[in-house]
Structure 1
Amino acid sequence: MQMKIDLQGLRVIVTGGTSGLGLSLVRQLTAKGARVAFVARTAANVERVAAETGAHGIVADIGKKDDIYPIAMQVTASFGGIDVLINNASSLGPVTLALLADTDCEELEAALAVNVLGVFRLTKALFGALAASAREGRGALVINISSDAAVNAYPGWGAYGASKAALVHLTAIWDEEAKPDGIKLLSLDPGDMDTPLHALALPDADPSTLKAPELAAGEIIETMLDALSVRAQLFPGEQA
């Protein structure tokens, strides 16, 4: 018989948490009782979402190396550790989208800085805290948000697609390497969503053909719960 798993007290950090998929994740996770910290660049948006959800907002830029350890320190100091890291923040690279031959090196660097290096640095900074969570029997999980552009060669999506392809392989390798520490790493493609990032890339797209970010967030949370099924045995007093 499948045991009931809830999110009460689960410590989660979400990057890019003030719009689109990230905002939906913050809303749904907090509503289900998780302790959530989220990261975004714009202070006014961070304050608004923190006030709305009760989550712990952090103003920072995942693409900036000097912002990474302050994020990790704030989360671990506030929550005493971390159980789940959702690397959701993304950069398109050139806007509007451009062929690779027309993409500036700096635009490719911008996509890599957020989509690969930012994920790598934040995961590395929180690796010890995640390993400690695993040792405590709480489970430890990193979810990296990918895209079908990581596997399909869409013209104009070169910087984004190449960075997401690197992210997928980075995730797969790290998942193998982190097994002795009890940490699971997953890359998930939520599908084409009606989000500000998608609108920025394809402003003429019909929103009715796109997945609602709320639906995608629910699917990701279900996958998260499956990966953390061991949590059902953590706090017997909390399980119905």
Structure 2
Amino acid sequence: MSETNVWKDRRVIVTGGTSGLGLATARALVERGARVGIVARTRERVLAVERESDRIVGVVGDVARKEDVHPIAVQLLGRLGGLDVLVNNASSLGPVPLRSWADTECEDLEAALAANVIGPHRLTRAVLGALLEAPSRGANAVVVNVTSDAAVSAYAGWGAYSASKAALLHATRIWDAEMASRGVRFVSFDPGDMDTPMHAAALPDADPRTLKRPEQSAEELLAVIETTMRRGAS
């Protein structure tokens, strides 16, 4: 696989693809010649991003909802004609404003787990057949689970988010241990603190000038995927 054709006509799904890191990633992929399917919950935003390029197709849905995931997978696989890369980017902070672990309602924890762990697991399973066919195109298929330093460090007030991202991080390792020999690699990616609506919701007093731009993190994410595409099977 030469340096010039890494992304040309690669088929990529990005969840949470209408803002923040997801939108920046979708745009960077299109610039490189990939075909991108985005998923988000707001129809107007999905349609607006679709209009940016004929290489973007969008589906309205919520990966945290069991009933949404199969239709998302069927529609995007049909419109893309297959799949080479899945970026599980959509996330939930859990309760906002942030609150202590002792004050976190069980329902809020369940919602965070649904969005950050169960949703990515369910969508990955729904598209796994297509991913298993992708290595015939000359590179590993890749699934990226977007995690956080909160998955490994304990921050007061971030309990639901932190616990769910920790579960996602370890699930990524399990997936890779089981699927690498079949040409599907799984990798986690921590984008760092970014100037995004989610960060503003969590820490409204943070100075955006001290935060990374999503575009910078998107470039770093694509570099990780390119390296993983080329990595030999374990």
TM-score after normalising by structure 2: 0.95
Partner of 1:185: 186
- Distance in 1 of aligned mates of 2:205 and 2:137: 49
Structure 1, unpaired ranges of 5+: 231-240
Structure 2 CA distance for partners of 1:74 and 1:138, relative to 1, 3 Å = farther
SS of equivalent residue, structure 2 residue 95: coil
- Distance in 2 of aligned mates of 1:163 and 1:17: 20
Moved more, 184-193 or 130-139: 130-139
Does residue 27 of structure 1 match 2:27? yes
Moved more, 117-126 or 129-138: 129-138
Structure 1 stretches (4+) deviating beyond 6 angstroms?
none
Deviation at 1:53, TM superposition (A): 3.1
- Distance in 2 of aligned mates of 1:180 and 1:136: 16
User: How many residue pairs align between the two structures?
Assistant: 229
Q: Is the 8 A contact 1:18 1:46 kept in 2?
A: yes
- Distance in 1 of aligned mates of 2:115 and 2:212: 24
Amino acid at match of 1:137: G
Amino acid at match of 1:56: V
TM-score after normalising by structure 1: 0.92
Deviation at 1:80, TM superposition (A): 1.7
Deviation at 1:139, TM superposition (A): 2.5
Q: Is the 8 A contact 2:58 2:76 kept in 1?
A: no
Does residue 100 of structure 1 match 2:101? yes
Q: Is the 8 A contact 1:5 1:229 kept in 2?
A: no
Amino acid at match of 2:17: G
Deviation at 1:3, TM superposition (A): 4.2
Q: How much identity, in percent, do the aligned residues show? A: 55
Deviation at 1:99, TM superposition (A): 0.5
Amino acid at match of 1:121: R
Q: Is the 8 A contact 1:194 1:210 kept in 2?
A: yes
Structure 2, unpaired ranges of 5+: none
- Distance in 1 of aligned mates of 2:29 and 2:103: 40
Deviation at 1:136, TM superposition (A): 4.4
Partner of 2:8: 8
- Provide the alpha-carbon RMSD of the alignment: 1.3
- CA displacement, residues 16-52 of structure 1 (integer Å, 9 cap, x when unaligned): 0000000100111111110000000000010011112
Does residue 117 of structure 1 match 2:118? yes
Amino acid at match of 1:79: L
- Distance in 1 of aligned mates of 2:139 and 2:72: 21
Moved more, 125-134 or 10-19: 125-134
Partner of 1:151: 152
